[in-house]
Structure 1
Amino acid sequence: MAGKKGKSSDKAGNNKLKNDVVPDERLQAIVLTDSFETRFMPLTAVKPRCLLPLANVPLIEYTLEFLAKAGASEVYLMCASHAEQMSEYIEQSKWNQPWSPFRVSTIMSLESRSVGDAMRDLDNRGIVTGDFILVSGDLVTNMEFDKALDFHRKRKAEDKDHIVTMCLSRASQLFRSRCHEPAAFILDKSNDKCLYYQDIPLENSKLKNAIAIDPELLEDVDEFKIRNDLVDCHVDICSPHVPAIFQENFDYQFLRRDFVKGVLTSDLLKKSIYAFITDDYAARVESWQTYDAISQDFIARWCYPMVLNSNLLDDQTYSYESEHIYKEKDVVLAQSCKIGKCTGIGSGSKIGEGTSIENSVIGRNCHIKENIVIKNSFIWDNVTIGSDSVVEHALVASNVSIGSGVVLMDGCVIGFNVSIDDNMTIPVGTRLSDTYVHKPVSQFLDSEPYSDDEVEESEANPDNALPALALVGANGVGYVYESDDAHDDDEDSSVVFNGTNALTHRFDDLYLSDNSISSMSAKHKKKRRSSTNSTAAANGRDDEYYEEDMDEDEDEEDFAAEAIATVERAMENNHDIDTALLELNTLRMSINVTYQEVRSATVVALLRRVYHFIATQTLGAKDALLKVFGQWGPLFKRQAFDQDEYVDLANLILEKTVAQRFEKPEFIVFTALTFLYDQDILDEDAVDAWWSQVSQDPKYDQAKVLIAKWIEWLRTADEQSSSEEGSEESDSE
Structure 2
Amino acid sequence: MAAKKGKPSKKGGNNNSNRDEMEQDDRLQAIVLTDSFETRFMPLTASKPRCLLPLANIPLIEYTLESLAMAAVKEVYLVCSAHADQIIEYIENSKWNLPWSPFKVTTIMSPESRSIGDAMRDIDNRGIITGDFILISGDLVTNIEFDKVLEFHKKAHQNDKDHILTMCLSKATGYYKTRSIQPATFILDKSNNKCIYYEDIPLAHSKSKSALSIDPELLEDVEEFSLRNDLIDCRIDICSQQVPPLFQDNFDYQSLRSDFVKGVISSDLLRKGVYAYITDEYAVRAESWHAYDVMSQDFLGRWAYPIVLDANFLEDQTYSYESSHIYKEKDVVLAQSCKIGKCTAIGSGTKIGEGSSIENCVIGRNCQIGENISIRNSYIWDNTNIGNNSIINHSIIASDVNVGANVLINKGCVIGFNVTIDDNMVVPESTKLSSVPIKSGNNDMFSQGLSEDSDSEAAESVIDKSTKCDVLAVDIVGENGVGYVYESDVSDDEEDSISGNLKNANSLVNQMEELYLSDDSIASATTKTKKKRTMSSNSMYTDKDDTEFEDDEDFEEEGIATVERAIENNHDLDTAMLELNTLRMSMNVTYHEVRTVTIMSMLRRVNHFIFTQTLGAKEAVAKVFNQWGMLFKRQCFEDEDFIDLINIILDQVLKIDFEKPELILFVALNSLYDNDILEEENIYEWWKTISQETKYSSVTSLTAKWVEWLQNADEESSEESSEEES
Q: TM-score range by the shorter chain?
A: 0.5 to 0.7
SS at match of 1:504: coil
Query: Could you report, residue by residue, the CA deviation over 1:657-700 in whole angstroms, capped at 9, with x for unpaired residues?
Result: xxxxxxxxxxxxxxxxxxxxxxxxxxxxxxxxxxxxxxxxxxxx
Q: Matched residue of 2:205: which SS?
A: coil
What is the CA–CA distance in structure 1 between the aligned matches of 2:488 and 2:374, rounded to whole Å?
Answer: 27
Which one-letter code corresponds to 2:427 in the other structure?
Answer: I
- The amino acid across from 1:478 in the alignment is G
Mapping for residues 406-445 of structure 1, pairs under 5 Å: 406-443=407-444
Residue 518 of structure 1 deviates from its aligned partner by 7.2
Matched residue, 2:112: 111
Q: Which amino acid aligns with 2:461?
A: S
Alignment correspondent of 1:477 = 482
Cα distance, 1:59 vs structure 2: 0.2
Q: Does 1:182 align with 2:187?
A: no
1:218-240 residue CA offsets vs partner (Å, 9 max, x unmatched): 11100000111111110000001
Taking the aligned partners of 2:398 and 2:37, their CA distance within structure 1 comes to 21
Alpha-carbon distance change, 52 to 375 in structure 1, aligned in 2, over 3 angstroms: same
Mapping of 1:625-664 within 5 angstroms?
Answer: none
Q: Structure 2: how far apart are the matches of 1:119 and 1:419?
A: 41
Please list, as runs of the form range in 1=range in 2, the aligned pairs for 1:262-273 lying within 5 A after superposition. Answer: 262-273=263-274
Go from structure 1 to structure 2 and tell me whether the alpha carbon gap of 1:97 and 1:439 turns closer, same or farther (over 3 Å shift).
Answer: same
SS of the residue 2:118 aligns to: helix
RMSD between superposed Cα atoms in Å: 3.0
Aligned partners of 2:502 and 2:154: how far apart in 1? 45
Aligned twin of 1:40? 41
Alpha-carbon spacing, 1:279–1:514, altered in 2? closer, same or farther (3 Å): farther
Distance in 1 (alpha carbons) for counterparts of 2:253 and 2:493: 27
Runs of 5+ in structure 1 lacking a partner? 1-16, 490-494, 520-533, 543-733
Aligned to 1:198: 199
Match of 2:664 in 1: none
Q: 1:367 corresponds to which residue?
A: 368
- For the 8 Å contact 1:31–1:137, the answer to whether it is kept is yes
Query: Hey, what does 1:458 align to over in structure 2?
Result: 461
Moved more, 224-233 or 127-136: 224-233
- Give the letter for the 1:300 counterpart: G
Partners of 1:68 and 1:211 in 2: how far apart?
A: 40
**Shift in Å at residue 540 of structure 1?**
4.8
Asked if the contact 2:364/2:380 (under 8 Å) is kept, the reply is yes
Q: What is the match of residue 511 of structure 2?
A: 506
The alpha carbon displacement at 1:204 in A equals 2.6
Contact 1:309 1:326 in 2 (8 A): yes
**Residues of 2 paired with 1:426 and 1:294: CA distance?**
25
Shift of 1:213: 1.4
Q: For structure 1, which segment, 219-228 or 177-186, has the greater mean C-alpha deviation from structure 2 after superposition?
A: 177-186
Question: Deviation string for 1:628-673 (max 9, x for gaps)?
Answer: xxxxxxxxxxxxxxxxxxxxxxxxxxxxxxxxxxxxxxxxxxxxxx
- Alpha-carbon distance in 2 for matches of 1:338, 1:508: 21
Compare CA radii of gyration and give the structure with the larger one.
1
Give the secondary structure class of the aligned counterpart of 2:460.
coil
CA distance in 1, matches of 2:131, 2:434: 44
Preserved CA contact (<8 Å) 2:50 2:453: no
Deviations 1:396-426 (Å, cap 9, x if unpaired)? Answer: 0000000001111010000000000001111
Secondary structure (helix, strand or coil) at the match of 1:76 reads strand
The CA distance in 2 between the partners of 1:140 and 1:488, in whole Å, is 22
Deviation at 1:442, TM superposition (A): 4.3
In the alignment, structure 1 residue 79 sits paired with structure 2 residue 80? yes
Residue 136 of structure 1 corresponds to which residue in structure 2?
Answer: 137
CA offset at residue 485 of structure 1?
3.7
- Deviation per residue, 1:545-595 (Å, 9 max, x gap): xxxxxxxxxxxxxxxxxxxxxxxxxxxxxxxxxxxxxxxxxxxxxxxxxxx
In structure 2, runs of 5+ residues without a counterpart are: 1-17, 495-499, 515-532, 550-726
Q: How do 1:525-536 residues align onto structure 2 when only pairs under 5 Å count?
A: none
How far did 1:484 drift?
3.4
Deviations 1:245-272 (A, max 9, x none): 0000101110001000000110100100
CA contact (8 A) 1:134 1:238 kept: yes
2:126 aligns to what? 125
Q: Is the 8 A contact 1:496 1:502 kept in 2?
A: no
Shift of 1:469: 0.8
Which residue of 2 is the match for residue 28 of structure 1? 29
CA shift, 1:362, in A, is 0.1
- Given that residues 439 and 464 in structure 2 are in contact (C-alpha distance below 8 angstroms), is that contact kept between their aligned partners in structure 1? no
Residues of 2 paired with 1:378 and 1:205: CA distance? 28
User: Which stretch has the larger CA shift, 200-209 or 386-395?
Assistant: 200-209
1:322 matches 2:326: no
Q: Distance in 1 between matches of 2:175 and 2:446?
A: 28
- State whether residues 40 and 493 of structure 2, in contact with CA within 8 Å, keep that contact through their aligned partners in structure 1: no
Query: In structure 1, how many angstroms separate the alpha carbons of the residues matched to 2:216 and 2:23?
Result: 37
Say whether residues 1:310 and 2:311 are aligned partners: yes
User: Take 2:83 and 2:379, find their aligned partners in 1: how far apart are those partners?
Assistant: 23
Partner residue, 1:667 = none
Matches of residues 156-555 of structure 1 in structure 2 within 5 Å?
Answer: 156-443=157-444, 450=451, 452-453=453-454, 456-458=459-461, 464-466=467-469, 467=471, 468-485=473-490, 499-506=504-511, 540=547
Check 1:518–1:310 CA distance in 2 against 1; reply closer, same or farther (3 A cut): closer
| 2: CA distance, partners of 1:64 / 1:205 | 35
Work out the CA distance in 2 between the residues paired with 1:515 and 1:482. 29
Conserved? CA contact 1:37–1:449, under 8 Å: no
Matched to 1:504, the amino acid is V
3-state SS of paired residue (1:210):
coil
Q: If the length of structure 2 is used for normalisation, what is the TM-score?
A: 0.66
Q: Percent identity?
A: 62
One-letter amino acid of the structure 2 residue matched with residue 196 of structure 1: Y
Q: 1:114, 1:450 within 8 Å by CA — same for their partners in 2?
A: no
Measure, in 2, the Cα distance between the counterparts of 1:127 and 1:75.
11
Is the 8 Å Cα contact of residues 428 and 497 (structure 1) preserved in structure 2?
Answer: no
Verify the 8 A CA contact 1:289 1:502 in the aligned structure 2: yes
The structural deviation recorded for 1:445 is 8.6
Task: Give per-residue Cα distances to partners, 1:367-390, cap 9 Å, x unaligned.
Answer: 000000000000000000001000
Distance 1:201-1:515 versus aligned 2 partners, 3 A rule: closer
| Corresponding residue of 1:527 | none
**Counterpart Cα distance in 2 of 1:257 and 1:496:** 21
8 Å CA contact 1:288–1:502 kept in 2: the answer is yes
- The answer on whether the counterparts of 2:376 and 2:392 sit within 8 Å (CA) in structure 1 is yes
For residues 115 and 259 of structure 1, what CA distance do their matches in structure 2 show?
A: 10
Shift in Å, 1:453: 2.2
State whether residues 34 and 80 of structure 1, in contact with CA within 8 Å, keep that contact through their aligned partners in structure 2: yes
1:6-45 deviation line (CA, Å, top 9, x unaligned)? xxxxxxxxxxx99xx8999110000000000000000000
CA pair 460-133 structure 1, distance change in 2 beyond 3 A: closer
Q: CA deviation at 1:452?
A: 2.8
Partners of 1:242 and 1:251 in 2: how far apart?
14
Q: Quick one: distance in 2 between partners of 1:230 and 1:449?
A: 32
CA 514–122 in structure 1, closer or farther in 2 if over 3 Å, else same? farther
In the other structure, the counterpart of 2:67 is 66
- SS of the aligned residue for 1:457 comes to helix
